[in-house]
Amino acid sequence: MNFLEALSQTALIRWVGESDWGYPIVLTSHAIGMALVVGILLMFDLRALGVGSRIPFAAFRTYFPVAWVGLVINVCSGTLLFLINYTAFLHNAAFITKISLLIAAALGTWALARDIAKECGGGISRNTKVLAYACIALWIGAIIAGRIIGYISVPE
CA distances from 91 to 2, 21, 96 (A): 17, 26, 8
CB 29 within 8 A of CB 100: no
- Asked if 134 touches another protein (CB under 8 A), the answer is no
Interface mask toward another protein for 94-113; x: CB under 8 A: --------------------
Interface mask toward another protein for 21-40; x: CB under 8 A: --xx--xx--xx-xxx-xxx
Residues that bind another protein (CB under 8 A): 20, 23-24, 27-28, 31-32, 34-36, 38-43, 46, 51-52, 54-56, 58-59, 62-63, 66, 139-140, 143-144, 146-148, 151
